[in-house]
Amino acid sequence: MCTNETGTAPELSEPSVPASVPGQLEWVHTIIDIVKAVPHGLGQGVHYWEPAWLNNTGLGSACQDAILFRPDFSQWPKVTGYSRESVNIFKDV
């Protein structure tokens, strides 16, 4: 779950979309639907950048649910990332 230094979730640009794997899928698929609806076929594509950093707040959000991988810190300092279902975000689009 996404938290900041005070233990609360950070402010989201779309608070109605949950910070979760289903939320990732919902948000991107909504963007794709909007692009597809641009008149005269002018909506040509969507670029989604997901840097796959694991718990590096210096690179962006402190929210683990903003990435497409689930980090496993059990063998620290070795960190392993396991792909989430949302890694297939563009499948069948």
Is the overall model pTM greater than 0.85, yes or no?
no
- Do 88 and 79 meet the contact criterion of CB atoms below 8 Å apart? no
Burial 51-65 (b: 16+ CB within 10 A, else e): eebeeeeeeebebeb
Check pLDDT > 80 for residue 89. Answer: yes
Question: Using an 8 Å Cβ cutoff, are 64 and 55 in contact?
Answer: yes
Q: Residue 69's pLDDT is what?
A: 78
The pLDDT tens digits for 12-68 are 677 788 878 888 889 889 999 999 999 998 998 888 776 555 555 555 555 666 677
Token pair, residue 86, equals 């949302």
Residue length, the chain? 93
pLDDT at 1 over 70: no
Strand, helix or coil at 70? strand
